[in-house]
Amino acid sequence: MKVSYYPGCSLHATGKEYDQSMKAVSRALNIELKEVEDWSCCGASSAHSTNFDLSIALSARNLIAAEKNAMDVMVPCAACFNRFKMAEHHLKADKDLKAKIEGVVGAKYQGGIAIRNPIDIIFNEIGLDTLAVKVVKPLAGLKPVSYYGCLLLRPPEVCEFENYENPFMLDKMMGAIGADVKNWSYKTDCCGGSLAISKTSIVIDMCDKLMSAAKEAGANCVVTACPLCMANLDMRPSSGLKLPVFYFTELISLAMGLPGSAETFKSHMFDPQPLMRQLRLI
Amino acid sequence: METFLEEVNKKIHGVPLQACYHCRKCTAGCPTASHMEYNPNKVIKMIQNGQKEKVLASSTIWLCLSCETCITRCPNQVDIARMMDVLRQMAIEEGRGAREKNILKFHEAFLAGIKRGGRINEPMMMAQYKLTSGDLFSDVAMAPGMFLKGKLSLLSPRTKDMKSVKNIFEKTKSI
């Protein structure tokens, strides 16, 4: 299949492992990615916290740019995904707002393409059977908890993600590549998001709580699909509570034996390589 | 004259706050409620009571993470996360500033980053945040490691059509 690709700012910086592994996995699963032309930032928390029209217009500029490719747009970053879905929701529900935002952006919004996150695309379009067939190195010994966070799921009528209080797509996907996924009740709890910089102590508390729960569930790592969750969980937990954190695509890439899979592990702030060596996965 | 409740309802543009029957499910699930001056349910009550000054001057409206757990679980679909956005925007528009100054400084630095290059360059954005907030030393120890691992780069590709981005900021009268 062919889709438009919106990497967003994080995937070119702190979340570069997600971009690299997303591209490798997509190629191997025959998902052709075409980057959205001249994209700009989605606006993130800072736009919607301070100016509603700005938040919709910044996302609309990108949705309009993506529409030129006339293909569904894959948005790996959970924060960008959430902002795009939110903009789509408001633009489709409110004609006056749509007219106003089109005036601000200087182009028409058609609303004809679907905004999709890669978990949904791999689970529903490629399918776990196809994925399992391509596994050459099952991730035996890896015990992740899957961490979905907030922005892929909520609000549910906007995000349209399955089972928003107890999602399972990521869990099943990790099972399909041979990991021993642990169940826990913190799948959809918040990591603290953008307060990491301006209110660090609160975020440390939140990340410590998540990591303690992951350990209690018997996990030896955490798997995520959000660069914000990754940054916070990788850097903010107190020492002694840290666990390796992976983007789900890094683990799929490793299980599929794709070249360069182990490279992205080197740029994590909390080094996952000792665990992976111990499990003889790298 | 418009009451505070009417003013907020108009801007939320959804289910009016009167639909809240104060079951406090929003507060039970809120990850930052314990750090807040007034919990989310209390804020709804205060708006109903017309306590505009106290609400807009509170830390609560800045500590909301927009995790959207409250609206997801509200039995009456009261959009509390949107309400918090509306309250923050009212505080900014009325020139009241923010009780949690650094949170607003962070948002300002982030938006300035978009205005500058269309996309966020994290080191530049962080430098601006640190200079304006005066919070110079936190996290500095992490920066060299992040540069070495290629997670931070001073030069990152920008949006080419910056005119369209700047237009958006001008036309929406953003900070």
pLDDT tens per residue, range A24-50: 999 999 999 999 999 999 999 999 999
d(CA A142, CA A221) in angstroms, rounded, equals 7
Cβ of B63 within 8 Å of Cβ of A202? The answer is yes
Residue-wise pLDDT for B65-102, tens only, equals: 999 999 999 999 999 999 999 999 999 999 999 999 99
Assigned superfamily of B4-93: Alpha-helical ferredoxin (1.10.1060.10)
B94 touches chain A (CB under 8 A): no
What is the topology classification, in CATH, of domain A2-116? Glutathione S-transferase Yfyf (Class Pi); Chain A, domain 2 (1.20.1050)
- Top pLDDT among B23 and B1 is at B23
d(CA B95, CA A83) in angstroms, rounded, equals 26
By the 8 A CB rule, do A244 and A269 touch?
no
Note whether ipTM > 0.90 here.
Answer: yes
Instruction: Supply the pLDDT for residue B123.
Output: 87
d(CA A72, CA A51) in angstroms, rounded, equals 28
Instruction: Supply the pLDDT for residue A130.
Output: 97
- Is the CATH number 3.40.50.11810 carried by domain A130-278? yes
Tell me the three state secondary structure of residue A222. strand
Residue in A155, A235, A266 closest to B68 by CB: A155
Long-range interactions of A90-96: CB distance < 8 A, separation 24+: A90/A56, A91/A56, A91/A60, A94/B13
Instruction: Supply the pLDDT for residue B136.
Output: 81
Query: For residue B175, is pLDDT > 70?
Result: no
Instruction: Supply the pLDDT for residue B148.
Output: 82
Residue-wise pLDDT for B136-159, tens only, equals: 878 888 888 888 888 887 778 899
d(CA A166, CA A7) in angstroms, rounded, equals 27
Residue in A39, A41, A268 closest to B120 by CB: A41
Domain residue limits, chain A: 2-116, 130-278
Cβ of B105 within 8 Å of Cβ of A195? The answer is no
Find chain A residues with C-beta within 8 A of B34's C-beta.
none
Query: For residue B34, is pLDDT > 90?
Result: yes
Domain residue limits, chain B: 4-93, 101-171
Please indicate whether the domains covering A2-116 and A130-278 agree at the CATH topology level.
Answer: no
Residue in B68, B103, B114 closest to A40 by CB: B114
DSSP state of A125: I
Q: Could you list the pLDDT tens digit for every one of the 282 residues in chain A?
A: 999 999 999 999 899 999 999 999 999 999 999 999 999 999 999 999 999 999 999 999 999 999 999 999 999 999 999 999 999 999 999 999 999 999 999 999 999 999 999 999 999 999 999 999 999 999 999 999 999 999 999 999 999 998 999 999 999 999 999 999 999 999 999 999 989 999 999 999 999 999 999 999 999 999 999 999 999 999 999 999 999 999 999 999 999 999 999 999 999 999 999 999 999 999
DSSP state of A115: E
d(CA B79, CA B87) in angstroms, rounded, equals 12
pTM beyond 0.90: the answer is yes
Average pLDDT for B59-64: 97
Instruction: Supply the pLDDT for residue B65.
Output: 96
- C-alpha A156, offset from chain centre: 16
Cβ of B152 within 8 Å of Cβ of A13? The answer is yes
